[in-house]
């Protein structure tokens, strides 16, 4: 399951939209309401399965 699928499954009642924005340099960053939730550039690794969803869950609660 993709990150977008996970987000929509868990938060479809509160998400108005999801945007995937292509970038360069191996970037993979997730922001919620303008706040950085996860950055591949900062961690120097890909997110584990479910990791980003858990970070977002902490923000919404």
Which residue in 25, 29, 26, 46 sits closest to 38, CA to CA? 29
Specify the pLDDT at position 35: 87
Strand partners, 30: 38
Please give the tally of structural domains in the chain.
1
Mean pLDDT of the residues in the chain:
87
pLDDT at 19 over 80: no
What DSSP designation does 29 have?
E
Q: Could you tell me the pLDDT band of residue 15, with boundaries at 50, 70 and 90?
A: confident
Rounded Cα gap, residues 38 and 54, in angstroms: 11
The CATH number linked to 10 is 3.40.30.10
What band does 54 get if pLDDT is binned at 50, 70 and 90? very high
Which parts of the chain fold into alpha helices (H)?
Answer: 3-11, 40-43, 51-60
Q: Which domain holds residue 45?
A: 3-60
Cα end-to-end distance, the chain, whole Å: 23
**pTM to 2 decimal places:** 0.77
């Amino acid at each position: 399951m993709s990150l977008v699928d996970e987000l929509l499954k868990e938060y479809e009642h509160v998400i108005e939209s999801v945007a995937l924005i292509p970038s360069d340099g191996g970037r993979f960053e997730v922001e919620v309401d303008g706040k950085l939730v996860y950055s591949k550039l900062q961690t120097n690794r890909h997110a584990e399965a479910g990791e980003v969803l858990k970070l977002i869950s902490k923000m919404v609660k």
